[in-house]
Amino acid sequence: MVLAPTPVVKGAWRTPMQIDPFNVPLADKAQYLLDLWPLVKGVRLVKYATAGFEALGEWKLFASSEGSVVEQTLTRVWPSLSVTAVMEGQFESRAAELAPVQGGWEYVTGSNLKSSARSLAEDAVEKLRAPSVTAGKKDLILTPSNLWLTIHESVGHPTELDRALGLEANFAGTSFATTDKLGKLAYASDLVTLYADKTTPGALATCAWDDDGVATQRWDLVKNGLFVGYQTTRDQAAWIGEPASRGTSYAEDHKTVAFQRMPNVSLAADARSTRSLTDIIAATDDGVLVSGNGSWSIDHQRYNFQFSGQMFHEVKNGKITRPLRDVAYQANSLQFWNSCDMLGGPKSWEMYGTLWDGKGEPAQANAVSHGCPPARFHGIDILNVNARGAS
């Protein structure tokens, strides 16, 4: 095994924050969550709500035989709220679109969780009363709160080099993006640039050094539609002729083996545009708007997939006409990304993510964020997943 070189480093890094969530009394956290119920219970048909707060602390000291010594302290937080409406034996839920981030308790108290609670309840009722979608090919408009998960599954995992080489086949499959396609595959339309970055402020996978002691960085995975990069570690870089690691080695704790884990993977906004979600809707004649993440499924090559969401709206002649329910969209990764024909500008870019991305055997969890603008995808198969009507 040939290891890519890494310079000797000495340093420390920690999550910037104002209030350590582990110093906030448990009673204060519980009261904050309990205060959400009175904000939603008065909405007719709302019968249930669940709220939560997760805080994860990670402290690491890395020392290598090459002379590197680094210490890193990361703190990740995630407040959540979901409201359920019930009518005539049917129910629908609506969850807050609030991302987990690196930060402190001030992220929770400064969030819109309380101010948006009633609108979440009203959304759940609206969704419950909405008509079922008519299946067919339509333009699909995805907000960042939905598109992040599609990026994770159809770009983040396929561009893990160990998965592309078949070394990760036993856990969630391999990848269609094999090494013979690097620099050749038209992964997406030329509007699309997707990049990996472990330096994005507040993002879940951000740190100063990976668990090989390699300084973190940003690099392209897909550049103007062309597949150009993988995620690598020191032992992997030479496999594809690269001189140095991309800095994506990670182990979840002291007793596990460090191996390649997903960095923050994001879709770049259209830098030449001031386009907003409203502008994308106005430019769409026949489409479906999806926000929030729901169910998902993708095959073992990270190719064919089906995703749902939280809220769905019909778009006709440039306007939102009505809410919908029972919506899912289906495509394969190349068809989907090559159908992207409109992106929001930099001011529309938002970041979401997950605290619990699994990989490896024995399994390890990693936290990772994905940023993106709202985007439109032309002629995507919209499915009706109405299980209520099934015989």
Cβ proximity of 365 and 252 under 8 Å = yes
Q: Phi and psi for 105 in degrees, rounded to 5?
A: -60, -25
Same-domain check for residues 144 and 249: yes
Whether 191 is in a domain gets the answer: yes
Whether 81 and 169 share a structural domain: no
Q: Which two tokens stand for residue 350?
A: 């938002």
Residue 147 forms part of a structural domain: yes
Same-domain check for residues 170 and 121: no
**Bridging pattern class, strands 10-14 and 69-87:** parallel
Whether 80 maps to a domain, the answer reads yes
Tell whether 189 and 245 lie within a shared domain. yes
Is residue 23 located within the same domain as residue 123? yes
Distance CA 177, CA 180 (A): 8
Per-residue buried b or exposed e for 349-376, using 16+ beta carbons within 10 Å of the residue's own CB: bbbbbbbebebbeeebebbbbbbbbbbb
Average pLDDT, the chain: 96
Query: Is 3 a member of any domain?
Result: no
pLDDT, tens only, 15-66? 999 999 999 999 999 999 999 999 999 999 999 999 999 999 999 999 999 9
Q: Please tell me the predicted confidence (pLDDT) of residue 169.
A: 85
- Give Cα separations from 310 to 78, 86, 94, 323, 359 (angstroms): 18, 16, 6, 11, 26
Same domain, 121 and 147: no
Q: H-helix or E-strand containing 331?
A: strand 327-332
* Confidence (pLDDT) at 1: 67
Among 82-91, 122-131, 170-179, 365-374, whose mean pLDDT is lowest?
A: 170-179
Q: How many CB atoms lie within 10 A of CB 314?
A: 20
Same domain for 22 and 148: no
Q: Which of 129, 145, 179 is the last residue of a domain?
A: 129
Question: Does any domain span residue 343?
Answer: yes
pLDDT at position 118, please?
Answer: 98
148, 16: one domain: no
Same domain? For 30 and 172 the reply is no
Same domain, 60 and 164: no
Q: Could you give the number of structural domains in the chain?
A: 2
Whether the CB-CB separation of 323 and 130 falls below 8 Å is answered with yes
Structural domain range at position 196: 136-389
DSSP 8-state secondary structure symbol assigned to residue 289: E
Domain boundary among 77, 99, 129: 129
* Together in a domain, 251 and 332: yes
**Helix-strand-coil split of the chain, %, nearest 5:** 20, 40, 40
Structural domain contains residue 1? no
Residues 80 and 24 in one domain: yes
Query: Does residue 338 surpass a pLDDT of 70?
Result: yes
- The answer to whether residue 2 sits within a structural domain is no
305: pLDDT strictly greater than 70: yes
The pLDDT value recorded for residue 170 is: 77
Which of 67, 94, 129 is the endpoint of a domain? 129
Domain annotation covers residue 282: yes
Is the per-residue pLDDT at 391 higher than 50?
Answer: no
User: What does the alpha-carbon distance between residue 256 and residue 268 come to, in Å, rounded to a whole number?
Assistant: 33
Residue 124 phi/psi, 5° resolution? -60, -40
- Residue 319: the pLDDT is 98
Q: 140-180: per-residue pLDDT in tens?
A: 999 999 999 999 999 999 999 999 999 988 777 899 999 99
Contact 113, 98 (CB under 8 A): yes
